[in-house]
A and B are shown apart, each in its own frame.
Chain A
C-alpha cells in the first residue's frame, strides 16, 4: 500500500513542503498569538454595523412594519429578498463540506471549515428576517405545530412558508452538527497545546474527550460520511422550498416550474461568490497562502463559472418560455422585468451574474486573488438583485393596472440589510479568532508530506470511510 498511483498531473494541495507539525503550528498560530490590529479593526467595524442594524430593528419592532416602504401592491420585498439572499449564501458551505466530500474533491479540505462556518452564520442572518417580518417576534413560537389553547389557530401545513420553518431549522441543525463534529479533533489539538487555564478547560469541554486513538478516528470518519450523505439532500431541499414560497403562487414571474433547481443553483452560485470574498481576504490576512493556494482559487472559480452558466440557462429558459407560452400575462411580466421601471435591476443582475463571471474562463483570472475578490463582489451584488428582481418586480405591476405601484426601501430596511452583514462578519471574525479556520486533520492528509509517506501520514478523513473494505483504508 505504499505505492501512490496518483497521476503526475496532480499536485499536493499544500504548498511549501510543510511537515505535519508545521501545519499544526501554522493553523493554530492565529488562535494562540492573539488578535492583530487588522482583526480588531474589522471586528469593531462589523460590530458597529451590527449595532446600527439592531437599533433600527428595535425601532421597527417598537413602531411597526409601517416603517418599511411596503404598500398594498408590493407586500413582500426587501425583507424577503434579504432572507433568500442569506439562505442562498449558506448553500456553498454545505456543497463544499458534503457534496464535494462525496465527489472526492480533496481541495475542499482547506476551505471546508470556513465555508461551513459561513453557512451557519448565513442561515442565522436569514432566520432573523422572517422573525422581524412577523412584526411581533415574541409570538414566533406560533409557527411550531403543537396542540395549543389558541382555538382553531393552527399552522397551515399546506403553506410553503411552514415548510420553510422545517427545512431551514433542519438545515441549521444538521449544518451545525456537521461543523461541530468536524471541529472536534482540531479542538482537541488546540486543547493539548493550550496553557492551563480557562481556555484549556473550555477547549477540553468542547473536544468531548477526544483521544486520537485509531478507534476514535474510525468512528469519527463513519459519522462524517453519514452526515455528508444526510446533508446532501438538504442542499437541495432548503432552496427548493424557498423557491416554492414563490412558485406555488399564480403570480407571473413567480410561478414557473424551473424554480426549484434554478434557485438551488443560484444559491450555490451566490454562496461561492461569498466564499471567494471571504477566502481571498482570509488567506491574506491570516497568512494561509500555502493552504488556500491559487489552485484552490482556480477550483472555486470553476464552480462559480459553472453555476453562473446554469443560472444563465435558467434566465434564458424563463424568457424563452414566457415568449413561447403566448400567455399575455407571462409575456407582460417578463417584458416589464426587462424594460419596465425596474429594468435597470434586471440589467444589474445580468451584468453581475452572467457577463462578469465570464472572465472566469481565463485561468489567469481564476488564480488571481485580487481579480477574484472584485468579481465576487459583483456576484454578491448581482445575486441580491436577482432576488429583488424576482420578488419585487413581479409584484409591483399585477393583473389590475389601477393597483400598480412602485416600491422603494426606507432607511430602516437598508439599515436592517446592513445590520445583517454586520452580524455575519462579526460572527466570522469571532470564528477566525477562536477556532482553527482550516481543518487540520483533513488538510494534513492532502499535503505533500502525506503523499511522500503514504504509510505514516494519516489518511485523509474519508479515505477509510469511503471504503467498505478495510484494506482500502490506507489508500494513498
Chain B
C-alpha cells in the first residue's frame, strides 16, 4: 500500500552528508564559549575549589543525563514500534552519540576534585565517621571511577549498536534492522535503568553522604527526562527554522509537547512523593536534606523550582494549541531546560554553600561552556549521517503523521 522508499525530494540514502545544527559562525562562537568556560573553571578552581568542582559536576551531570536519556527516548520508541518520531529520530541519536565521550571525560575529571567535591573521598574524614566507614565498600574513589567508566561503556556500546543498525538501514533498507533494534532497545532500557540509578547515587546523592532517599534515582531521572525532551525539541525547532525539516508538522510538535507536559507532571509527582513522605514522617536523618533548602537562603529557589517545573507547564502546555505552536512550545522548552538545570543546581550546590545561593559568573561561564560543548558535539554527530532515516519502514507514517 505504501513504499518505504524515500520521498523524491530527498537525496539518495548515504549520498548526502548530514546537515548540522549550527551555522559556521555559530559554531565558532560556541567554540569561544567553550574556551571561556574552561578559563573560568581554571580561575574559579583557585578561588573556590568546592564551588568550582560543583559547577563542573552540575553542568556535566545535567548534559550526560540529557544525552543518555535522549538515547533512552529512541530506545523507548523502538520497543513500542512507534512510527511518529522517525522523521526526527536522528536528533536524539546525535545527542547521545555526540556528547557521551565528553561526558565521560568530565566525570573522570571530578576525581581530581577529591574531597573538595565529595566528603567521602577524604580518607581522614571517613576514618572518623562511622557511617562513612560502613559505606566505604561502595563510596570510594576507585569504585567511583570504575563504576563511572562502566556506566559510560555500557551506554556507549548499547546505544551505539542501535544507532549503527539504524544507519546501516539507510543503505540496505533491511527491515530486520528494525526488528533487531527492538530487542537491542529493550536490553538498553533495562540496563539503563539499573546503571542510571546507581550513577545518580554515585554522582549526586553522595554529595550528602549521610542522607538517603529511595526515590532519588527516579527523581533525577524524571528531571533530566524533561530536560532531554526540551533540548531535543529545541534542536528540532532549530532545524525546522533553518528549513531542514520541511515535512515537520503540527502533530510532531503536539506529540513532543505531550511528552514534555506528561513528564513535567511526572516530575512534580515524584517531587511531591519525596517531599510529602519525608515531611510527614519527620525523621531527622531524612529531613536534613530539606532543612538545608528550606531554613536557608535556598528557600526562594526551592519554591521557584516547583512552580517553574510543574505549575507553569501545567497551564502553559495544557491547551493543544500551545503544544502545536512552535513559538509557545519552544519558549516552554527553553524555560524548562533551565528549570531542570535549577533542579539539579538545588541538588548539587547547597552542600557547598549552606547559607544560600551565590551567583558566580565563573559558574555561569562553566555551565555555558559545557552547554556549548554539548551543542557542538551534537552538531558534529548530526553531520555524520543523513538527517532523514530514508529507508526506515516507519518513515512514511512519520512523514504523514496526523495524530492517530
Which A residues contact B (CB, under 8 angstroms)?
Answer: 3-10, 102, 104, 233, 236, 240, 244, 247-250, 255-261, 302, 309-310, 313-314, 316-318, 320-321, 324-327, 361, 460, 462-463, 466-468, 472, 475-476
Per-residue interface assignment for chain B, residues 361 to 404, with 1 indicating a CB less than 8 Å from any chain A CB and 0 otherwise = 00000000000000000000000000000000110110110111
Which 3 A-B residue pairings sit nearest by Cβ, starting from the closest? A258-B214, A257-B215, A5-B400
Instruction: Kindly identify which residue among B81, B285, B321 contacts A327, using a CB–CB cutoff of 8 Å.
Output: B285
Per-residue interface assignment for chain B, residues 158 to 196, with 1 indicating a CB less than 8 Å from any chain A CB and 0 otherwise = 000000000000000001001000000010001001100
Give the docked Cα–Cα distance between A472 and B320 (Å).
14
B394:A104 contact, CB within 8 angstroms: no
Instruction: Kindly identify which residue among B213, B283, B404 contacts A467, using a CB–CB cutoff of 8 Å.
Output: B404
B1 located at the interface, meaning its Cβ lies under 8 Å from any Cβ of chain A in the complex: yes
A261:B215 contact, CB within 8 angstroms: yes
Interchain nearest-CB distance for B327 vs A (Å): 17
B197:A313 contact, CB within 8 angstroms: yes
A7:B393 contact, CB within 8 angstroms: yes
Which residues of chain A have C-beta atoms less than 8 A from B265's C-beta? 233
Which listed segment binds A: B14-22, B92-100, B267-275? B267-275
B277:A259 contact, CB within 8 angstroms: yes
Which residues of chain B have C-beta atoms less than 8 A from A324's C-beta? 135, 138, 201, 212
Interchain nearest-CB distance for A42 vs B (Å): 35
B403:A472 contact, CB within 8 angstroms: yes
Which residues of chain A have C-beta atoms less than 8 A from B194's C-beta? 313, 316
Instruction: Kindly identify which residue among A5, A248, A463 contacts B2, using a CB–CB cutoff of 8 Å.
Output: A5
A258:B2 contact, CB within 8 angstroms: no
* Residue in B2, B201, B218 whose Cβ sees the most chain A Cβ within 10 Å: B218
Which residues of chain A have C-beta atoms less than 8 A from B276's C-beta? 244, 248
Interchain nearest-CB distance for B282 vs A (Å): 8
Which residues of chain A have C-beta atoms less than 8 A from B397's C-beta? 5-7
B403:A8 contact, CB within 8 angstroms: no
Instruction: Kindly identify which residue among B135, B285, B394 contacts A9, using a CB–CB cutoff of 8 Å.
Output: B394
* Residue in B134, B193, B214, B400 whose Cβ sees the most chain A Cβ within 10 Å: B214
**Given A248-B277, A249-B281, A321-B212; A261-B218 close (CB under 8 Å):** yes
Give the docked Cα–Cα distance between A9 and B393 (Å).
7
Per-residue interface assignment for chain B, residues 119 to 145, with 1 indicating a CB less than 8 Å from any chain A CB and 0 otherwise = 000000000001100110010000000
Which residues of chain B have C-beta atoms less than 8 A from A327's C-beta? 212, 285
Give the docked Cα–Cα distance between A3 and B397 (Å).
11
Which residues of chain B have C-beta atoms less than 8 A from A310's C-beta? 193
Give the docked Cα–Cα distance between A476 and B175 (Å).
23
**Given A318-B214, A327-B285; A244-B277 close (CB under 8 Å):** yes
Residue of A nearest to B219 (CB): A257
Instruction: Give the interface size bracket for B toward A.
Output: 35 or more
Give the docked Cα–Cα distance between A31 and B267 (Å).
46
Instruction: Kindly identify which residue among B274, B283, B393 contacts A250, using a CB–CB cutoff of 8 Å.
Output: B283
A466:B217 contact, CB within 8 angstroms: no
Which residues of chain B have C-beta atoms less than 8 A from A466's C-beta? 403-404
Which residues of chain A have C-beta atoms less than 8 A from B79's C-beta? 302
A313:B281 contact, CB within 8 angstroms: no
**Given A5-B396, A7-B83, A317-B197; A257-B273 close (CB under 8 Å):** yes
**Given A250-B281, A257-B214, A472-B404; A8-B4 close (CB under 8 Å):** yes
Interchain nearest-CB distance for A239 vs B (Å): 11
A475:B135 contact, CB within 8 angstroms: no
Give the docked Cα–Cα distance between A259 and B175 (Å).
41
Which residues of chain B have C-beta atoms less than 8 A from A317's C-beta? 197, 214, 217
Q: A318-B214, A324-B135 are in contact. List 11 more A-B contacts (CB 8 A).
A: A6-B2, A7-B83, A7-B393, A259-B273, A260-B215, A261-B218, A326-B130, A327-B285, A472-B402, A475-B402, A476-B402
B134:A9 contact, CB within 8 angstroms: no
Which residues of chain A have C-beta atoms less than 8 A from B274's C-beta? 257
Which residues of chain A have C-beta atoms less than 8 A from B83's C-beta? 7
A255:B283 contact, CB within 8 angstroms: yes
Residue of A nearest to B258 (CB): A102
B278 located at the interface, meaning its Cβ lies under 8 Å from any Cβ of chain A in the complex: yes
**Given A255-B281, A261-B218, A317-B217; A9-B403 close (CB under 8 Å):** no
Interchain nearest-CB distance for B266 vs A (Å): 9
B315 located at the interface, meaning its Cβ lies under 8 Å from any Cβ of chain A in the complex: no
